[in-house]
Chains A and B, each alone.
Chain A
Amino acid sequence: MKSISLYVDKESFIHDFDPITKLLYILFALFLPLILLSFTVSFISVGVSIVLLMAAGVIRKTIPVFSFVFLVLITVVIIQGLFRPENETILFQIGPLAMYKEGLLYALTITLRVMNIVSAFLILVLTTKPSDLVETLVRKGMSPRIGYVIVSVFQIIPEMMASMSTITDAQRARGMETEGKLSVRMKAFLPLLGPVILGALINTKERALALEVRGFNSHVPKTYLYEEKTHALSKWVQAILLLLLVGAGVWRIFG
């Protein structure tokens, strides 16, 4: 079954940590460099995230994500390096184009921040089952209905994609061309979209009935198949992350 989740099913101490700690780590990685405004801190933060990703054994899965991010960032580097208004100091020149130090430094800051956030997010996404994350949030008070919608999307979208291919076949069987020129594809749009939407609506109604008879709207307090995931060190890690953040804030204000 293809699922659109990026979760990598492995065993590691990172996998063992609860989603809340990982969420807190994202906040930490996001705010610490913002508070301290330091290159070094950003570097260290990115470094730590990458070490954690390696420890979790999921570093290979980050390559496509990072490649995509770099593709976007390269344009940032080029544009800022060439055209940033504050540009003064020329670093080097290629033909008529001059690269400036100020612009490149600024681009580097942005690159580091983006890397920082992306790598922290990847820790959560690659080492946490979507259903575990949502279950944790439901335990913390999120509505089970919203939780259901979020989790089911991960599985139901691939199901819809599968039905899309059946529908394409059904219309091709009626002589419709679905391949080739743009105009041909445009013409094929409605005959494909109509049945997809209708099918989704019918399935949604049927699924709603099936959920109802399984007590989906029960007012009894919910119980859970799995015990809440906690790690012996969770509390400590969370405390240290918070302490560091608060410490950084205090240092910034009074230091």
Chain B
Amino acid sequence: MNKIVVEGLKYKYPLSDTLALDDLSFQVKEGEFIGIIGKNSAGKSTLCQALVGLVPHFYKGAYGGKVFIDGLEVKNQTIADISLKVGMVFQNPFTQVTGSKMTVYEEIAFGLENIGIPRSEMIARIDYVLDLLKIEQVKDQNPFDLSGGQMQRMAIASIIAMKPDILVLDEPTSQLDPAGSEEVFQAIQSLSKQGITIILAEHKMEKVALYCHRVLLLDDGKMVDINTPGKIFSRGDLEQHGVAAPVYTRVCKELGVRKAGTSEFPVTLAEAESVLRGRKI
């Protein structure tokens, strides 16, 4: 079943002359894990925000085409209503902390209070997400005292507690150290395994290749392609679109080694290892 349907989506920010999103069309099935890649200002963040209704409701601006989430058209819903279906996590862990709550536990409750979840249900949900994102041990700390990785997991927990079917993440690990990013990627992957549909804008191609079912390549607001990581990263014109393939793919491209029986190059460490094993190096 299609969870997200985007049809001819066009968008221009107010005070801007150029289209930030230019005629995008694609569908996402329930439970899929989609990566969005592209150079800076290709439209990744804008697309993420269009899926949760911040585009156009928060920014206004010129909007054309349609985005359906579970059959509901984003343009005709309020952000608060859409937030029950799609949650979004942003780049900067700091600015996602509301600043109005004294503990992690209360912070996670913030969204639930807003959407009117009864108290007993609220507590059950908070306990569940604390466990799911492995931040149980910091639940009584002040949100601002957490490490970057913990703070970002708290942001994800706050969103997941609202029980969306879809989670959109805009470069959630760009400001974290390697250990912090790994914590966050593990968390995202476990959510994906639970059947939540994931949309992830990301620069770290090795991670995209490892976790995503399909990858959407954007350039100048246009969709270049949406396909499996193998197909996308095997394209010959990636560099022209401002993207470098994972290091494993680059090596295999240079060596001209493809995955057995396909025209694709390996995209992960494991794939590269298996095709190169036994070669004389």
Interface residues of A (CB under 8 A from B): 1, 3, 129, 131, 144, 148, 151-152, 155-156, 159, 203, 206-225, 227
Smallest CB separation, B197 vs chain A (Å)? 16
Chain A binder among B36-44, B103-111, B263-271: B103-111
Contact assessment for B114 and A206 in the assembled complex, using a CB-CB cutoff below 8 Å? no
**Interface flag for B99 (CB, 8 Å):** yes
B residues less than 8 Å from A155 (CB atoms): 99-100, 144
Contact assessment for A215 and B122 in the assembled complex, using a CB-CB cutoff below 8 Å? no
19 pairs, CB–CB < 8 Å, chain A vs chain B: A1-B144, A148-B100, A155-B144, A159-B94, A209-B49, A209-B90, A213-B54, A213-B83, A214-B114, A215-B83, A215-B84, A215-B111, A215-B114, A216-B80, A218-B78, A223-B116, A223-B122, A225-B109, A225-B112
A131-B100, A131-B101, A206-B90 as given contacts; A215 in contact with B106, CB under 8 Å: no
**Which residues, 132 to 148 on B, are CB-close (under 8 Å) to A?**
142, 144-145
Contact assessment for B78 and A214 in the assembled complex, using a CB-CB cutoff below 8 Å? no
Closest B residue, CB atoms, query A209:
B54
Contact assessment for B116 and A225 in the assembled complex, using a CB-CB cutoff below 8 Å? no
Contact assessment for B54 and A218 in the assembled complex, using a CB-CB cutoff below 8 Å? no
Q: Please tell me which one of the listed residues B49, B90, B113, B158 contacts residue A224 in the complex, with CB atoms under 8 A apart.
A: B113
Smallest CB separation, B22 vs chain A (Å)? 23
B residues less than 8 Å from A222 (CB atoms): 113-114, 116
Contact assessment for A221 and B116 in the assembled complex, using a CB-CB cutoff below 8 Å? yes
**Interface flag for B115 (CB, 8 Å):** yes
**Size band of the interface chain B makes with A:** 35 or more
Q: Please tell me which one of the listed residues B116, B122, B126 contacts residue A218 in the complex, with CB atoms under 8 A apart.
A: B116
Contact assessment for B115 and A220 in the assembled complex, using a CB-CB cutoff below 8 Å? yes
**Interface flag for B228 (CB, 8 Å):** no
Q: Please tell me which one of the listed residues B52, B100, B113 contacts residue A225 in the complex, with CB atoms under 8 A apart.
A: B113
B residues less than 8 Å from A211 (CB atoms): 98
Separation of A220 and B126 alpha carbons in the complex (Å): 20
Separation of A210 and B110 alpha carbons in the complex (Å): 11
**Interface flag for B117 (CB, 8 Å):** yes
Separation of A148 and B96 alpha carbons in the complex (Å): 14
B residues less than 8 Å from A152 (CB atoms): 98-100
B residues less than 8 Å from A131 (CB atoms): 100-102, 106
